[in-house]
Structure 1
């Protein structure tokens, strides 16, 4: 992962605040640098402890296909203001926030993608039935709560924040548990500074609430399968958050398209951006084809 690729905005991408009825959402807004937006837009929802920047490496390729692409921070993540209370950070509450954003965009029906925990949030948006959607894509997401080592990480974070999460506790958590491993991971200094700034900018109540949700999310695959829109399950062949076999079974239950990204793990958008963007554009183009033929 090169520092410029990860942090610098490519041509055609700009930061934008989007007002909605449930609050302002920080976004990266990508459009083609040549030609017009002839295709329907796409909305990208990040995972737990993630942000809109996780999609920087794919935004230009996705937009150059001829569509507007919007990557967001969910409420309480990084640069999006929080709800101001813990109740909003349920899957349902976050799904409603994404629905409100789709309405605020006023671009007609769009493609919705969620990465990791964002896939569970986007699923709630689909099941809510209010958003105008052309397709749903789950990237490195699963049918229900996370398990194994990633569950232990989320549980430790929620426990450390306590029942009354504060920014002071979040800062202590970073210094005690996260700063050393982040430095030792070998990321460039610029990326280290970004990861630290992003973590400390999160709403502590949001981190606690989202962490609780990712540890207890129910399996709603059967309900999602009943929604008649095109669906995609995309994941890296080396994913360990939701194992590949779990995601493959979910795709089968959904009668969804399935794409496995070679050499990638939990973040194919960062680890194999061109392959990932190509697969998404191909899926979105197929999903739009019936509408364009009418």
Structure 2
């Protein structure tokens, strides 16, 4: 695993977005973008597998997460700004890429793939689609902005096991990996690896459904749509309507909600086989 970084221009000035990179530098690129409160290290298992098949896998930490810079204005923590940062990375790569996006990472992927001249060849949308119901948005709003300080890694791991139980049946080693890569030093112990201010745009407004149908209609590349069978964010009817399009393949993961962790062998194989086409 290597580390990389790019300076990108936001409305508040230039900041650094960092990423984790696997595989040969001349391999066909795969960009893996994490969910709202996570980081690029969530994709370690998937990236290791894809790198073994010769792919160059780049897993950025979105602004305000992981090793990337925090932003001075909390209201900048919105998809359009993340897309701006990711576009600087895509300009650096300067060629076709495949995209794996979990939740927020999938929203960013749709936003980019809806634009003329975009570089995305194939895209995996992990438990996110054209419509997010109000109830799911309210759940996200309610758990953001209440980030505690933990005394140690086991305490943080226990929190992740509770909050992210919908990731599915992960092994003890996988939960520990998520905990270890989710920690940053904080006064009195350790905290989660993101700026608590990422909650500001969501908490500033009343929860309402997120309708991205107009955006989705412009996405015409091959898409693998993965749905956690118990997901409250990607509803069955939304997934079915999206899968009616000839360029979309739908796969459902039993025993998972929002969102499948893409860490076990079956889920990794599902993604790898789609991207190999």
TM-score (norm 1): 0.72
Query: Which residue of structure 2 aligns with residue 290 of structure 1?
Result: none
State the aligned residue count. 254
1:136 matched to 2:123 = yes
More helix by share: 1
Aligned partner of 2:110 in structure 1 is 123
Question: Partners in 1 of 2:246 and 2:202 — Cα distance?
Answer: 25
Q: Residue 131 of structure 2 contacts residue 211 of structure 2 at CA under 8 Å; is this kept in 1?
A: yes
Q: Residues 111-260 of structure 1: matches in 2 within 5 Å?
A: 111-129=98-116, 131-148=118-135, 150-157=136-143, 161=145, 173-175=147-149, 182=159, 185=162, 192=179, 194-197=181-184, 200-209=192-201, 215-216=207-208, 218-253=210-245, 255-260=247-252
The gaps in structure 1 that reach 5 residues or longer are 1-12, 162-169, 287-294
Question: Is 1:282 aligned to residue 273 of structure 2?
Answer: yes
Q: TM-score, normalised by structure 2?
A: 0.75
Secondary structure of 1:268's counterpart equals: coil
| 1:31-180 equivalences in 2 (<5 Å) | 31=23, 37=26, 40-106=28-94, 108-129=95-116, 131-148=118-135, 150-157=136-143, 161=145, 173-175=147-149
Give the structure with the larger strand fraction.
Answer: 2
What is the Cα deviation at residue 52 of structure 1? 0.7
**Residues 232 and 251, structure 1, Cα contact 8 Å, conserved in 2:** no
Q: Aligned-pair RMSD on alpha carbons? A: 3.4
Instruction: Name the CA distance, whole Å, in 2 between partners of 1:254 and 1:192.
Output: 39
**Residue pair 2:66, 2:182 contacting (<8 A) in 1 also:** no
Distance verdict in 2 for CA 1:243–1:92, change over 3 Å: same
Distance 1:267 1:204 in 2: 21
Closer/same/farther in 2, CA of residues 128 and 208 from structure 1, 3 Å limit: farther
